[in-house]
Structure 1
Amino acid sequence: MVATAAAAQPVPLRRPGALLRAPAPSLPASRAAAPFPRRTASMKISQLPLTATRFSKESDSAEDDELLSELRDKWDAMENKSSLLLYGSGAILAVWISLVVVGALDSVPLLPGLLELVGLGYSGWFVYRYLLFQENRKELANNLDALKKRIIGDDE
C-alpha cells in the first residue's frame, strides 16, 4: 500500500517553465497532409454573382383564390356531402390499416424477401408483356386511354 501511495504522488519538475519554452517540433511537409489539390481558378463565394428576387404573393394569390373558389363551388354543388366525408375518412382508415398490415408482414422472418422476389418476378413479367415490344406498348396505351375514359366519363 505504501508503494502505491508513493507512486500516485506527482513528481515535481526542476524547471516548471521548461515545457512552456520548448519549441514545437516541425513536421516535414508531405503530400499526405493535403490530399486534395488546390484549385487556383475556383471562385470564392464572395465572387459568385447574386441576384435578388422579390417574393410576390400577388401573382400566387390570384391563382389561390381561383382554386379556392372552384373548390367552394364544387363543394356547394355536391348533394350528398356526408357520403364524401364518409368515403374520405374510410380512405384514410384503409391507408392506416394497410400500413399496420404491411408492418406486421415486415416483421415475419423470410416473408419480406419472398414478397420482394414475387414483386421482382411480376415486374419482369410486366416488362416482357407490355413494354418490350412495340405492339404491346400500343396495346397498353390503348388500355390506359380506355381506363381513363371510363374513370373520367369522357364520351368523345
Structure 2
Amino acid sequence: MAAITSVSCRPLCASVSTRAAARPSKPSSAPQYAFVRPMKSTRSTNRLVVRAEAEEGFDPQKFIKEASEKWEKVENKSAVAVYGGGALALVWFSSTIVSAINAVPLLPKMLELVGLGYTAWFVYRYLLFKSSREELIKDVDELKKRITGTQ
C-alpha cells in the first residue's frame, strides 16, 4: 500500500506533510492564535513569522513639544518653579528621614506591623460592607470637589 498524504489543519496555518498513516488526521478544533508555528516537515517549507507591532509608541519629541506648549500657557512661571523646587526638597528630606528610621533596629518591623494593622482596619471600616463602600465613595467625591473648587 502506498503512503497516504494527509493535510493537518492548525490555527491560522495549513501545512501539507507526507507520512504513512492508517487514517487521515482530523481538522483541529483548537482556537485561533495570534502566532503561527510551522509544522516540521521533510520538505523545506517557507517559514511564516508573525510578530505583534505597537501601533503607537512613546515619541519623546512629541512629549517635549506638548510640555513646552503647556509651559508657555502658564502665567505665573516663578510660582511653578518654586513649588517644583519645594516638592523636590521635600522628597529628598523625606528620603533622608526614611533612611534614618531604617537604620534603627526593630523600628522598621514595628512600623510594618502598624501599617498592616491600619490596612486591616481600613479594609474592615471602608471596603468590607456595601454601605461603608458607598460612604467612602461619597467622601472621595466630596474631597475631589473641595480640591478642584467646584463645591
Q: Distance in 2 between matches of 1:79 and 1:94?
A: 24
Partner Cα separation in structure 2 for residue 60 and residue 126 of structure 1? 39
Match among 93, 96, 118 for residue 97 of structure 1? 93
Once the two structures are superposed, residues 30-76 of structure 1 have per-residue CA deviations (whole angstroms, 9 ceiling, x without a partner) of xxxxxxxxxxxxxx9997962246777xx6689964x6555334322
Change beyond 3 A, Cα 1:50–1:149: farther
Q: CA RMSD in A?
A: 3.4
Q: How far is 1:154 from its partner?
A: 4.3
Structure exhibiting the larger radius of gyration computed from Cα positions: 1
Moved more, 141-150 or 121-130: 141-150
Instruction: Give the partner amino acid of 2:50.
Output: T
Structure (1/2) with the larger helix percentage: 1
Q: TM-score, normalised by structure 1?
A: 0.56
Partner residue in 2 for 1:50: 49
The unaligned stretches of length 5 or more in structure 2 are: 1-36, 41-46
| Structure 1 unaligned spans of 5+ | 1-43
2:143 corresponds to which letter in structure 1? L
Letter in 1 for 2:142: A
Query: Which whole-Å CA distance do the structure 1 matches of 2:100 and 2:49 have between them?
Result: 52
Q: Which residue matches 2:81?
A: 85
Q: Which has the higher strand share?
A: 2
- Of the three residues 123, 148, 151, the one matched with 1:152 is 148
Aligned residue number for residue 110 of structure 1: 106
Name which structure has the greater RCO, CA cutoff 8 Å, separation 6+.
2
Kindly tell me the number of residue pairs found equivalent between the two proteins: 109
Equivalent position amino acid for 2:86 in 1:
G
- Choose from 129, 132, 136 the match for 1:136: 132
- Cα 1:54/1:94, change in 2 over 3 Å: same
**Cα 1:144/1:46, change in 2 over 3 Å:** farther
Report SS of the residue matched to 1:79. coil
Q: Distance in 1 between matches of 2:64 and 2:54?
A: 21
